[in-house]
Chains A and B, each alone.
Chain A
Amino acid sequence: MEVNFKIYRFDPETDSKPYYRDYTITANPTDRILDCLNRIKWEQDGTLSYRMSCGHGVCGSDAMKINGRCALACQKLVKDYEGKEIILEPLPSYKVLKDLIVDLDPFFEKVKFVQPYLLSTTALPEKERLQSPENSKKLDIAIRCILCACCMGACPVLNENERFLGPAPLVWAFRYIFDSRDTQYLERLKQVDYSHGAWACVNYYECTRACPKEIPITKYINTIKREIQKSKDTNR
């Protein structure tokens, strides 16, 4: 079948402003949008730039806006957009470096802010630390995060307020707050307890809808908020 694409193009070096370019390719309904991008680049226009690597939703490279929604190009198929023109745009909220490639440094800085590593003051056992299956299960969905930043692009708060920590860093905060092996529980709660931290989320649920790994992000942020409140109540 013939599929029409409209793709955002911008090379800050040579273009004064962004523009859209149309492409038509023949594709199968089960082709990934990434396959289509590759075909466009290889067969029609080598000047098109986008990131990709694993091609099956694990590495998180090809987050972009597809017909208005943030998603991974390798996880969406042509048939998901049957009959429609497919519009591809870069992830919102980030500076465009070229075409569909954005500068994700500010994103990774925010993830680093929540100290995404285990902090523990207890002595290490010779073998593994013990963790009950119940405690391990508290993390098993949060650890699906692949740092693709789809949720960041989708978040209406973040689109307006770049100081908001954002959904993905809060998922990483959640992952360590509720890791029974981590001993910095209170410090971690304090870290996200500020107006542009957990509290800036006002439950649009766009992050949850966008997450390609189906993490209930908004719910997790609300859990963090409750946990902050609880910690304050017990300390009072």
Chain B
Amino acid sequence: MEFKHDVIIVGAGLAGLRAAVEVAGNTDVALISKVYPTRSHSGAAQGGIAGALGNEEPDLWEWHMYDTVKGSDFLADQDAAEILAKDAPRAIYELEHMGVPFNRTADGRIAQRAFGGHTSNFGKAPVKRACHAADRTGRVIMDTLYFESLRKGIKVYEEFYLLDLLMHEKRVVGLVAYELATGAIHTFHSRAVLLATGGFGKVYKTTSNCFANTGDGVSAAYRAGVSLQDMEFVQFHPTGIYGLGVLISEAARGEGGILRNRYGERFMEKYAPGLKDLAPRDVISRAMAREIREERGIHGRDFMHLDLTHLGKDRLAEKLSDISSFVRIYLGIDPADDLIPVQHTCHYMMGGIPANLDGQVLGENQQVIQGLYAVGECACISVHGANRLGCNSLLDLVVFGHRAGKRIVRELGDLAWNPMPKEPDKSFLVKIEHLKERQKGESAWVLRNEMQGIMTAHCSVFRKKEDLEKALAGIQSLMERYEKVVIDNRGMRFNTDLTEAIELGSLLNLSHVILVSAMAREESRGAHFREDYPERDDQNWLKHTLIQKTGEVCRLSYKPVTITRFEPKPRVY
């Protein structure tokens, strides 16, 4: 079928929903989501949303902006970081007005707690800046925004999976989507498309990301010729449950939790004497990897302990109940009595589709691509630079989701209906037909396991040239083998065997892009640490990476970082 809507939003996480709330009402807007509504991965965000409300102690947006820029290792565009920090209180009050059930202070205001890298007075001491609803902040914001967008009458196509972005002479035309329930391929004709498709942590073996985070939107944009920005910057969260990757929120350390090595030492005192366990994630993950390398992991193995035993049962029940229950269910231990085995775990992609301050996607020569928008983890605006601070993600989603929504409303009158290409769905029809016909080859899960193994072994917290080269060769060979991937399921209804095979294509593409970008950047900055180039090199590398697909090869280029208030200086915590 061909559907037609003025605006199509792809992805029903916080960024897509916040934009939807803005656009819905007077505009014909549809939301498509590959998972059933309210299942999106924003819901897994636990700890909070940052904003200098100053409800617990004095705070200023300038301090928040400074922390964001320093946390980014000075790669964030400072005009974007300024908007993020300045707009945060408004965005949070607005969520409260919509009904988000935040925890409260004794006098009834929104409660705040400490979080990694957030400080007062330009780095002097940790500050309570994270607004939260226990440890399920993302989930309650998502539910609030979802029902709010329904109330405003948005049309939702649930369990529709984005296959392809349709462009015509560098303008957006619409997209092609696969309906999971029926196996039908549909085309959507539109004047504006907003991509809010999230991250792609599934390129790694151990990740806090959900199964759906396979970078479909980022990969579709890349295939359509859009360049991707800063793809080498992959965040590893210090505290995923060992082996599983289920996240133990930074809020656990915000509430006073401590990381310990096999000797019971609070090792972060060594690496970040100022902020210790509340240093930014890249710093802590690297410290953990270093401890493990030097055989100070627990029992000499590849994990550390998170100690919450001193917090007491009441505090755990009140402020960290979800994570306490994860620990009980998956490890069979009680965090009030036992130490939690944790491991650094792939968590967040700083890179993505380059977009300006209103979420408009930037194409060649940084010109806006008419009708195409991107916000959230799939986008790179860039507020997080080389490393994102905890609680800045939910904030990014609502601040820039709101801005992109407003921009779309403002601009829609000027956006034309561009003609649909002939047989827009043909390439995927053929691809799927071939997939279903092929009898001999390898299964997607075999290739996916290998890919995740390669990326985890060679492109995690520590990187070096020979490892990256090895990984690149490995991924390239997997891409060749992927041409002959086979599936077991030839049916039409809920054929997840088929969609997983298609998702793997996106993941392989993105692994490749991460590796090429990482290999080129011969310095260490934020989450990208090169053992062969251990220092930050502002002289040569204070710039954003852009990578573009041109035919069968990819081309790297760079663009400057916007610096307004804070000149780069050494980053110590």
- Smallest CB gap from B492: residue in A: A13
- Smallest CB gap from A100: residue in B: B494
Interface of A is mostly: loop
Is A60's CB within 8 Å of the partner chain B? yes
Residues of A within 8 A of B489 (CB): 46-47
Interface string of B127-157 (1 = CB under 8 A from A): 0000001101001100110011011000000
Q: Are A14 and B494 within 8 A (Cβ)?
A: no
Separation in Å of the A228 CB from the closest CB of chain B?
22
How far apart are the CA atoms of A181 and B144 in the complex, in Å? 14
Q: Are B44 and A49 within 8 A (Cβ)?
A: no
**Given A30-B330, A97-B493, A53–B101 Cβ distance below 8 Å?**
no
Residues of B within 8 A of A46 (CB): 443, 487-489, 497
Residues of A within 8 A of B487 (CB): 46
How far apart are the CA atoms of A145 and B109 in the complex, in Å? 24
- Smallest CB gap from B95: residue in A: A128
Is B411's CB within 8 Å of the partner chain A? no
Is B27's CB within 8 Å of the partner chain A? no
Is B86's CB within 8 Å of the partner chain A? no
**Given A53-B35, A133-B104, A97–B494 Cβ distance below 8 Å?**
yes
Q: Are B150 and A112 within 8 A (Cβ)?
A: yes
Q: Are A11 and B491 within 8 A (Cβ)?
A: yes
A116 touches which one: B136, B147, B211 (CB < 8 A)?
B147
How far apart are the CA atoms of A143 and B143 in the complex, in Å? 10
Separation in Å of the A105 CB from the closest CB of chain B?
9
How far apart are the CA atoms of A13 and B181 in the complex, in Å? 11
Separation in Å of the B25 CB from the closest CB of chain A?
15
Separation in Å of the B106 CB from the closest CB of chain A?
6
Q: Are A143 and B140 within 8 A (Cβ)?
A: yes
Count residues on chain B whose CB falls below 8 Å from chain A CBs.
65
Separation in Å of the B102 CB from the closest CB of chain A?
8
Which range holds the interface residue count of chain A? 35 or more
**Given A46-B488, A128-B110, A12–B39 Cβ distance below 8 Å?**
no
Interface string of B470-508 (1 = CB under 8 A from A): 000000000000000001110111111100000000000
Is A129's CB within 8 Å of the partner chain B? yes
Residues of B within 8 A of A116 (CB): 143, 147
Residues of A within 8 A of B488 (CB): 45-47
- Smallest CB gap from B34: residue in A: A53
Is B424's CB within 8 Å of the partner chain A? no
Is B105's CB within 8 Å of the partner chain A? yes
Which residues 22-77 in A have Cβ within 8 Å of B in the complex? 30, 32, 41-43, 45-47, 49-61, 75, 77
Separation in Å of the A47 CB from the closest CB of chain B?
4
- Smallest CB gap from A51: residue in B: B36
Is B98's CB within 8 Å of the partner chain A? yes
Q: Are A133 and B105 within 8 A (Cβ)?
A: yes
How far apart are the CA atoms of A75 and B44 in the complex, in Å? 15
Is A81's CB within 8 Å of the partner chain B? no
Is B329's CB within 8 Å of the partner chain A? yes
Is A147's CB within 8 Å of the partner chain B? yes
Separation in Å of the A39 CB from the closest CB of chain B?
9
**Given A59-B43, A59-B44, A41–B496 Cβ distance below 8 Å?**
yes
How far apart are the CA atoms of A167 and B530 in the complex, in Å? 54
The interface centre, meaning the residue of A61, A97, A117 with most chain B CB atoms within 10 A of its CB, is A117
B41 touches which one: A54, A140, A143 (CB < 8 A)?
A54
The interface centre, meaning the residue of A32, A53, A116, A140 with most chain B CB atoms within 10 A of its CB, is A53
**Given A52-B211, A53-B210, A57-B329, A131–B497 Cβ distance below 8 Å?**
no
Q: Are A130 and B329 within 8 A (Cβ)?
A: no
Residues of B within 8 A of A130 (CB): 107-109
Is A235's CB within 8 Å of the partner chain B? no
Interface string of B315-351 (1 = CB under 8 A from A): 0001001100110011010000000000000000000
Known: A55-B210, A59-B210, A130-B108. 13 other contacts (CB 8 A): A49-B494, A51-B39, A54-B210, A58-B139, A97-B181, A101-B494, A127-B109, A133-B106, A136-B101, A146-B139, A147-B143, A175-B101, A181-B99
Q: Which 4 A-B pairs have the closest CB atoms?
A: A46-B488, A118-B99, A130-B108, A46-B497
Q: Enumerate 27 A-B pairs (CB-CB under 8 Å) in ascending A order.
A: A11-B491, A12-B493, A41-B496, A46-B488, A47-B491, A49-B494, A54-B44, A55-B210, A56-B326, A56-B330, A57-B326, A59-B38, A59-B44, A59-B210, A61-B35, A101-B494, A115-B151, A116-B143, A117-B98, A127-B53, A128-B93, A130-B109, A131-B108, A133-B103, A133-B104, A143-B136, A181-B99
Interface on A for B, CB 8 Å cutoff? 11-14, 30, 32, 41-43, 45-47, 49-61, 75, 77, 97-99, 101, 104, 108, 112, 115-118, 124, 126-133, 135-136, 139-140, 143-144, 146-147, 175, 179, 181-182, 214
Interface on B for A, CB 8 Å cutoff? 35-41, 43-44, 53, 89, 92-93, 96-99, 101-110, 133-134, 136, 139-140, 143-144, 147-148, 150-151, 181, 210-212, 244, 246-247, 318, 321-322, 325-326, 329-330, 332, 443, 445, 487-489, 491-497
